[in-house]
Amino acid sequence: HIAELRKDQYNIVPLKEIINAFKSDRELPERTIAITIDDAYLSIYQEGWPRFKEAGIPITIFISTESINDHNANSMTWDQIRELEKEPLIDIGHHGHTHAHMTDLSLDNALNDLDTADQIFIEELGFIPKIFAYPYGEYSTELIDAIAPRNYSAVFGQYSSAASSSQNIMALPRFAFNESYSNLDRFKLIINSRALPVRDLLPTSQEITVNPPAIGFTVDGKINGLSSLGCFPSHMSEAATVTLLGEKRIEIRFDEPFPVGRSRLNCTMPGPDNRWYWFGLPFFNLGN
């Protein structure tokens, strides 16, 4: 993976540089990529960071504070985190305290979890990180609204999609890689993907109230070939029905309801230079 990233066509930057570009509507070079790692595992300190440092690749580490305070054998210590925080190629991100499924918590308990982490960050690092990632990538509209006053520069979920400034800065996507989903072919496909800029997205919330939902969006920009867009719900073995209205409006329909829990929709289509446009959405069926 690192050997591929070091090729000339990729522009690897700190995550905050992408956030600043999104917020200032500044265009980024082709194949601009940021690397994030969740949960402050000891393997980051021992195995991951030495490789990234040697390659000159910046990373953001999203930290949940409880496992560190509890001296979990698989987690870094605060001394190790302070050592990494001094590295110019490392930024520390906020990942809550208990790494809880926040959609399973009451709003008050979710905010208390963040408050607890805030206090620990101040005690251990002297600051509260300005970039936040929802644990497990799970969030609700209510939670987004509640954390808006906390002045995070950006907030990230964990669902497959190339990120763009057209998306909600409080719920930006990240592609996930782990031991089961990290073969080199998939890695190359994703790091060469293109963002599909959309607006007028419906439904406006990813919490399921009507199941299955009627999904639609309008594609911005001079993007041709929308008739070849395919959209794939994660709970189905076949593609959804995609209808192109006019030149730019996409409507997506399927009959099988989303199951309880977290689901996703991935929409992809071929683009120039054998690079795929990729737009994804998470959906959360919270039951009652």
How confident is the model over 15-46, as pLDDT tens digits? 999 999 999 999 999 999 999 999 999 999 99
25-62 CB burial, b ≥16 within 10 A, e <16? eeebeebebbbbbbbbbeebbeebbeebeeeebbbbbb
Q: What is the pLDDT of residue 179?
A: 86
Q: What is the pLDDT of residue 180?
A: 87
For residue range 86-135, what is the model confidence (pLDDT) as tens digits? 999 999 999 999 999 999 999 999 999 999 999 999 999 999 999 999 99
Residue 211 predicted with pLDDT over 90: yes
Q: What is the pLDDT of residue 288?
A: 56
CB 114 within 8 A of CB 96: yes
| Average pLDDT of the residues of the chain | 96
Residue 287 predicted with pLDDT over 90: no
Instruction: Centre a 10 Å sphere on the Cβ of residue 107 and count the other Cβ atoms it contains.
Output: 14
Task: Return all residues near 2 (Cβ < 8 A) that are at least 6 apart.
Answer: 51, 52, 55, 57
Across residues 70-96, what is the average pLDDT? Answer: 97
**What percent of the chain has a predicted confidence (pLDDT) above 90?**
95
**Tokens 């399973």 appear where?**
104
The residue with greater pLDDT, 286 or 125, is: 125
**20: which 2 tokens?**
């600043």
Instruction: Centre a 10 Å sphere on the Cβ of residue 127 and count the other Cβ atoms it contains.
Output: 11
Across residues 239-243, what is the average pLDDT? Answer: 98
Instruction: Look up the pTM and report it.
Output: 0.94
Candidates 154, 247, 156, 265; CA nearest to 203 is 265
Residue 214 predicted with pLDDT over 80: yes
**CA dist list (Å): 119 to 65, 91, 96, 125:** 10, 18, 11, 10
Residue 77 predicted with pLDDT over 90: yes
**Phi-psi domain of 40 (left: phi exceeds 0; alpha: psi -120 through 50; beta: other):** left
Residue 271 predicted with pLDDT over 60: yes
